[in-house]
Amino acid sequence: MRFFITTAIDYPNSRPHIGTAFEKIGADVQARFQRMEGNAVHFLMGNDENTIKVSQRATELGVEAKPYVDDMARQFQDVWKALEISNDDFIQTSEERHHIGCRKFIQKVYDAGDIYKKPYQALYCDGCEEFKTASQIVDGKCPNHPNKPLREVEEENYFFRLSAFGDRLLAHYEANPDFIQPESRRNEIVSLVKTGLQDVSISRKGFTWGIRIPFDEEQTIYVWFDALLNYITAIGYGTDDARFEQIWPADVHVIGKDITRFHCALWPAMLMSAGLPLPKQVFGHGFVYRKDESTGEVAKMSKSLGNAVEPMDLIQQFSAEAFRFYFMSQCPFGGDGEFSFERFADAYNAGLANNLGNTFSRTLSMAVRYFDGKLGSTDGVDCRAWCAGLDLKALADELRTLMTSFQYNVAIQRIWGEVLDAANKYIQTTEPFKLVKTDVEGTRAILLNLADAIRVVAILIKPFLPSTAKTFYDAFSYGEVRSWDEVSYGDVASAPRFEALTVTAPLVNGKPAPLFPKVETDASK
């Protein structure tokens, strides 16, 4: 079964910050989980390049727009690779495939009678690249960019007749209650549409950078009408009809809550006008807020406010896996999260250094110290004694539900609180480091149990911590029964049988390299 997942495309006027990375990791976790479930995943990301911001930034740097966006695309993808994002495609909206598809689409909507031209005068936010209505302005400012004054703009533009689609949109929401998630976002959009939609400007005049409108070459397609189309132009709309029909519609668009009205009202209305299927779901994730350690104040993280943190700073100080763990465990994906360096370090030490990494290291070290890494056959050994009382099949089913509904923080809580805790309690109860002095065979059985626990943990954390999970799985000869690429959540239900389970991890002086070295925080100094 195919599964098409996308994220919002990003403005490349500066490098991504950790709030942007939050979205990409959340989508990546879903993509990796869906692959584990056997689905043929197509995971799309990209950059939104046909914008005034981009041309202005290129001018500031004294370069042409196209070389600038190409270099920024490289920088963005370097960050995503460093964070282990597994996207299958990365679209730049300056690419020919996007231009061809956009021109075909806008012509189709124009021919359907849903585009018209009129003079327009309104306040414009350069930060959002959007005209603002009176209801969107707070104290004379854009709430998203309070430091950027609104400009009064007057010109003749083309408009999309969004106001004509209110009833059809409401009917779609009613017939498809999961179309907008989480529920709080759905309620906001339903309320917005019920109050009445306004027609939206979809072109600008006098710009050389951007996509020309086929029926009026003096105008370029306005940012949102252009940007949203990346979801279909990237998979062949206008250039490869067979591929487009094979992949579309999207199973889920993963986007920030501040742009849900574009994805849940404007975008489906555009598709309705063009006679194309609608995406199955739009998931609007929350924001990451930055806590100032010196003042305790919390503010939304953004480039314009100057409080953004670059992902590479945290990756270099901790690791990509630590980055992924923090944001997926500490920040509810459907709600808002909070970041501070102190809180990041605390979560790293508690969840990774002292728990996950320590359990792994202790198990391998004892297997090597007591049995030279050769634990032998599982025949006659109850390899599920470590999780007695814990129904792993039921837990795997519960985790599947949590994963498909983007409740990542709850899923991680269950893995750490149930599986890892069971393994650690098993070590404390059985004390193999003492038992080995009197009962070698009993100690071997305990370590076979702990090896099974390591295998189960590896499978369950694979969507979240892919590198760590593979390190766990490669630590023993599990691959003789099931290759790493084939494992799914269903594989945790029963303990596999091994003829001769052995440690296969690289060791230094009989010990595995520490995965998560503990870091010192201000609180522990």
Residue 392 has a CB neighbour count (10 Å cut-off) of: 20
- Three-class secondary structure assignment of 335-401: CCEEECHHHHHHHHHHHHHHHHHHHHHHHHHHHHHHHCCEEECCCCCCCCHHHCCCCHHHHHHHHHH
- Enumerate domains of the chain plus CATH numbers: 356-524 (1.10.730.10)
Give the DSSP letter string of 203-235: EEES-SSSPEETTEEEEEE-HHHHHTTHHHHTT
Residue 383 phi, psi (nearest 5): -80, 10
Region 364-380: what's the mean pLDDT? 96
pLDDT tens digit sequence for 8-65: 999 998 888 888 999 999 999 999 999 999 999 999 999 999 988 888 889 999 999 9
Secondary element (H or E) of residue 121:
strand 115-125
Region 447-457: what's the mean pLDDT? 98
pLDDT tens digit sequence for 386-421: 999 899 999 999 999 999 999 999 999 999 999 999
Burial grade of 513 (CB within 10 A; 0-12, 13-18, 19 or more): exposed
- The CB-side HSE value for 409 (13 A sphere, CA atoms) comes to 14
pLDDT tens digit sequence for 242-298: 999 999 999 999 999 999 999 999 999 999 999 999 999 999 999 998 866 666 666
pLDDT tens digit sequence for 134-158: 778 888 888 878 878 888 877 899 9
Calculate what percentage of the chain has a pLDDT beyond 90: 79
pLDDT tens digit sequence for 194-230: 999 999 999 998 888 999 999 999 999 998 999 999 9
pLDDT band, very low/low/confident/very high, at 86 (cuts 50, 70, 90): very high
Q: How far apart are CA 209 and CA 67, in angstroms?
A: 13
Res 327: pLDDT: 96
The alpha carbon of residue 60 and the mean position of all alpha carbons in its chain are separated, in whole angstroms, by 32
Residues 6+ apart with CB under 8 A from 180: 173, 186, 189, 260, 264, 281, 282, 284
Burial grade of 183 (CB within 10 A; 0-12, 13-18, 19 or more): exposed
Residue 292 has a CB neighbour count (10 Å cut-off) of: 11
Res 75: pLDDT: 95
Res 522: pLDDT: 59
Q: Which two tokens stand for residue 196?
A: 């009445």
Going by C-alpha positions, the residue among 285, 380, 324, 330 that lies closest to residue 5 is 285
pLDDT tens digit sequence for 417-448: 999 999 999 999 999 999 999 999 999 999 99
Region 171-187: what's the mean pLDDT? 96
Is residue 473's pLDDT more than 70?
yes
- 145, 106 contact by CB (below 8 A): no
Q: How far apart are CA 341 and CA 402, in angstroms?
A: 28
Going by C-alpha positions, the residue among 464, 463, 515, 472 that lies closest to residue 349 is 515
pTM: 0.92
Calculate what percentage of the chain has a pLDDT beyond 70: 95
Res 293: pLDDT: 60
Region 491-500: what's the mean pLDDT? 94
pLDDT band, very low/low/confident/very high, at 523 (cuts 50, 70, 90): very low
